[in-house]
Structure formats: C-alpha cells, structure tokens
Amino acid sequence: MKKIFLRLTLVFALVLLFAAHAFAATDAGAALKAVLKNEMALFSANHDQSMTLNELLDLGGEYGPYMPKEYSRFSVIDMDRDGVPEIVLYVGDNIVLHYENDVVYAYLFDARAMQMLKKDGSYHGSNGASAGVYIRVKKFDGKTFEEEYLGEYSEEYDFDGNFLGGEYKIKGNVVPKEEYDRMIAELIDENYADESDFTEENIEKF
C-alpha cells in the first residue's frame, strides 16, 4: 500500500510539474505576442527601463538605426532549455525577448556577438577575423543572463596569411586543435534556427 501511495505521489508531482511548464509556456507566448504587437511594454536590460518594442527599435543600436520591420525576421527558440521559448529578433543587431515572472525582458546583442544561431540555442560570437567563441545561454535571471562558452579559438597569421598558431579551448580547457575541430564540426552540423518574416500573421502563428 505504501509503495502504491509513493507511486501515486510521484505521478501527481510529475503532472503538476508538467502543468506548471505548460501554463508558463502559455503565459510566455501570450506576453511575447503582446510585446511584438506593441500591446505590452518590455523591460530593456541594456537601457534599464520599460518601453514598447517600437520605442526600443527607434533607439537603434551601437552602429546606427535598426532595419525597418518589413525587412526584419524572428526565430522562436528555447535558448536556456527550460521549456519556455524566447524570441530572437533580427533587426540588423539581435534582440532576445525572454519572459519571466510576468515581465518580458529584452537583451541586445550586436550582429557580431550572435551569429549562426542554431535550433538548440547555441551561437557564434566573433572577436575579430581570427578569434571567436561558440556560446549558449546557461540561464536568464531578470535583468541579467549567464552564458556558457562551449568553445573558444584565437589564431595568428603573418602578413601573407600564413597560419602561425593558435589557442583552442573547450568549456574553458585548452585542447589540441584536432579535438577542438571535432567538437566544432558537431556544433556546426546542428540545424540553424528557423526564421520567419516579422509580420502580424507570423506573430500569431507561434
């Protein structure tokens, strides 16, 4: 009898956990749609203030104005793998929209800081022509977020473009180039994130 009770308790706990995730995903979807349609304010972590998406887009980025909406696209990805999706807007730079405790937070990434976004939420960040990192978000926490470096590389070339050497890391540990190349090949083989035009119809679909 005790075993049956424990099993029932475990099943009930799992059902509650699933329901909580389902409700969170539903709430997140509704809030993200409202932000994309400018029916609800977001909180810009970079500017430390609330504003509408249109107001954020009007501010532009570090290198100039953002693209008009008709040329913009977006992806729906669970970047921190918690069962609740984020929105990534491609407007010249990248804007990540994350729902947490009834607030939609916006995090700005310049175009070089988030490239080659994959369906698993990992992406490439460029530190120049011969240096960069492969990253994913470990967790969002309100105004801040924590990134995990999956791989890092820094290479040197002479004036004629001949390779002189480099340093390669996997999760912070220095490794031989061959081991790094194998890991990166697996990352690059991951599917790229699906993108949709930034239209009212596509906003309603996700």
pLDDT digits over 108-157, tens only? 998 889 998 999 999 999 877 788 999 999 999 999 999 999 999 999 99
* Cα separation, 168 vs 176, whole angstroms: 7
Phi and psi based region of residue 111 (left: phi greater than 0; alpha: psi -120 to 50; beta: remaining): alpha
* Strand positions, DSSP E, the chain: 42-44, 49-51, 73-77, 86-90, 94-100, 103-109, 123-128, 131-141, 144-157, 163-170, 173-174, 196-197
Compute the mean pLDDT over every residue in the chain, rounded to the nearest whole number.
84
Q: At a CB cut-off of 8 Å and minimum separation 6, what does 166 contact?
A: 130, 153, 154, 155, 156, 177
Number of domains in the chain: 1
**pTM of the entire predicted model:** 0.81
Q: 165 forms bridges with which residues in the sheet?
A: 156
More confident residue, 66 or 175: 175
For 107, the domain range is 2-205
